[in-house]
Chains A and B, each alone.
Chain A
Amino acid sequence: MGSPVCGAFGEFGGRFVAEALWSPLAEVAGAFEEALGDPSFGARVHGWAEQRLGRPTPLTHLGGLSDALGGAQIWLKREDLLSGGSFCGVVALTQALVAVRLGRGELVGETATGDFGVALGQVGLALGLKVRVFMTRDDMAAEPAAVRRMEEMGLALEPVEGPARGRRGAMAEALRYVACEPQQAFYVTSSLASPDPYPRMVAFGAEIIGNECARQLRERGVSADYVVAPVGSGGFACGLFGAFVQEGSVPGVQLVGVQSGGDASPTRGAASLVRGGVGVHMGTRSFVLQDALGQVVTPLTDAAGMAMPVVGPQHARWMRTGQVQYVELADAEAYAAVRTLARSEGILACLESGYGLAYALRLAPTLPEDAHVVVGLSGDGARDLGRLSRARGEGVSS
């Protein structure tokens, strides 16, 4: 197939949806494009990101860990320090402000780890909007703290029956709800793997992360050799890589997206870019974990934020062009990396960030001391304490 018509990233992207969703999405796309031409929109996003969410986040040099590993200098971009504990706020904020421009009264989204649901609540309530969050029952059971937090905010929580943890079942239900309430409801997503214009909107918000990071590196007089981030649907990594991937903007930096290989058996995991094929799923043309018949394979990983069978179209294009390298690492390595960071630096990262960390821990000792590796830390790890304990009990991390 050729390039999509709407929101194309090379041969990827597009707006592959049922007719009922076409016009609502076209309206959102129009509003977003109009917003991009309005200087006050960007100013409002940045102002809220600073005042409400706590941006910019620090770029932390891990001197002790770098010395212990005996190689490159490791840096962390600290999204764990934001209000809500993750990068999600700025992604929700961009979309919520588009919803306001359209006069919608209700934000509707999905969440897997709970981070995005909390972010949606923070932003939506502040804007005077109702907030409805869809979440699979398995995810609700696995994330009691986030569920309690959303309940305390008074969000409308919609349990979804689903085959496994992860956003896809909840996303389908959220879209279904919006299709039935097109005048009032506005769909908001944390997933880069979604129909146009959502990949563009998610990237617009998340690119603040990469822009900050590039500026902070310049201010410190540091030239990054590697920038590493976890990739589930890829919203966070897209944001972090955005400032670096533009041709000629930051020469000489190698970008690495790390996906979950699950328990490391060949038919499991969530590494859509490593093991998937090109397909259309969740409204976008991208790399999809699928079998020979085109049936989508359920991604199996301990990290719900990584459990996506399809990746955002920007990553699919970067994979094709070679601008970003994509690898997979097993859950066990992510657990071990989270624990290593906690014990060496006192920073508790979420499990999703563990995949990027694990890659950096492998990489750093192979590089000289004057090399620099930046790792994107997408969120705080408090919600993963139970999983870390269980993993230790099962002997999967050191």
Chain B
Amino acid sequence: MSERLTMLEERASARRPLLMVALVAGDPHLDATLDYMGILAEAGVDMVELIVPFSEPAYHGAVLQRAMARAVNEHLDWAQIEEIAAEFRRSYPSVALVVSSYLNRLMVAPMGPIFEGLQAAGVDALWIYDLPMEESAEVESYSEAAGLPLVRAVSATTSLERFREIARRAEAPIIWTGHSGGELTLTGEAFEERLRTFGEYTRRPIVASMGVTTGAEAQAVVQAADGVLVGSSVAWLLEGRGPDVKEHLRRHVVELRSRVDEVAGQG
């Protein structure tokens, strides 16, 4: 596990909530991606999720689907993702970076070198949305060989028994996927109760993706979770692509950061 991920665990265990923000690589064009990642880093995110666009984003909502549809036209390959990651790492050595995509994007080339290249570029973990634990043995072998951990996801349908096995394998923050473009599956007390229960069985931070679009919502999520993952609201901002898009993005993330930090030390 990278030093950056270890630091995130320390932050979370000190009840300093984590902010993770997702961006689609190549949306609206490749040249902008590093700029946007820099804005996120300077606005104080703990983790950037760089989504490698896939033509069939079945587990994303409409906004991120549109973002990926735009980004697919940039024809990004893994070498370009590694370049972006390496450049980001040079400028922002302390901000964790998770690369994510769907399994098919990883199957078009030998997988081992992809893992090795991402790790060498300074990527901290890889999240494959459609790779459940049961089907992941071979991918895990590449992950272990390269020293690039897989991000594990859990959801409202994950039993405690299953969670314990997922947590046992987790070497990176665990993502609670409570929102995938549809209605939230658990809200309020049920969500808090489930997160509390899960939290007793892992040292890894649990970062919740809950369709958050505002600072207030982010703050509500981190009352129960160790961190919050924000994605579609950023893609929605970038979709506007007005002249002040970067400033809007900066303000949005600063607002998220400040509202999340108000919860620090509580609980």
Contact = CB atoms under 8 A, between A and B. Distances in A.
A295 B177 contact: no
A281 B102 CA distance: 9
Nearest to A172: B58
B75 A293 contact: yes
Given A14-B135, A293-B108, A20 B162 contact: no
Contacts of B158: 19, 22-23
Interface in A246-305: 277-283, 288, 290, 292-296
Interface in A138-181: 161, 163, 168, 172, 175-177, 179-180
A24 interface: yes
A177 B181 CA distance: 9
A61 B72 CA distance: 50
Contacts of B132: 15-19, 22
B156 A295 contact: no
Contacts of A278: 107
A221 interface: no
A163 B185 CA distance: 28
- From A278, A281, A290, name the one whose CB has the most chain B CB atoms within 10 angstroms: A281
Nearest to A283: B130
- From A17, A20, A23, name the one whose CB has the most chain B CB atoms within 10 angstroms: A20
Interface string A3-15: 0111000000011
A101 B69 CA distance: 40
A: interface residue count bin: 35 or more
Contact of B138 (A2, A23, A179, A281): A2
Contacts of B69: 163
B106 interface: yes
A179 B105 contact: no
A288 B104 contact: yes
B155 interface: yes
A58 interface: no
Given A6-B135, A180-B182, A19 B157 contact: yes
Nearest to A295: B55
B: interface residue count bin: 35 or more
Contacts of A16: 103, 130-132, 135
B182 A176 contact: yes
B134 A19 contact: no
B191 interface: no
A180 B185 contact: yes
Contact of A280 (B55, B103, B134, B183): B103
- From B75, B130, B131, B177, name the one whose CB has the most chain A CB atoms within 10 angstroms: B130
Contacts of A17: 130, 132
A363 to B, nearest CB: 35
B210 to A, nearest CB: 13
Contacts of B2: none
B134 A5 contact: yes
A105 interface: no
Contacts of B181: 176
A182 B135 contact: no
A19 B154 contact: yes
Contacts of A172: 56, 58
Contact of B58 (A175, A279, A288): A175
Interface in B113-136: 129-132, 134-135
A1 interface: yes
Nearest to B106: A294
A297 to B, nearest CB: 8
Contact of A23 (B102, B159, B177, B184): B159
Contacts of A6: 134-135
Interface string B28-62: 00000000000000000000000000111011001
Ranked 4 nearest A-B pairs via Cβ: A20-B155, A294-B108, A180-B182, A295-B55
Interface of B: 54-56, 58-59, 62, 69, 72, 75-77, 102-108, 129-132, 134-135, 137-139, 152-159, 162, 166, 177, 180-185
Given A16-B135, A20-B155, A172-B58, 4 more contacts: A17-B130, A18-B59, A18-B180, A182-B156
14 contacts: A14-B135, A16-B131, A19-B153, A20-B157, A22-B134, A23-B157, A24-B157, A176-B58, A180-B182, A281-B104, A290-B104, A293-B105, A294-B106, A296-B55
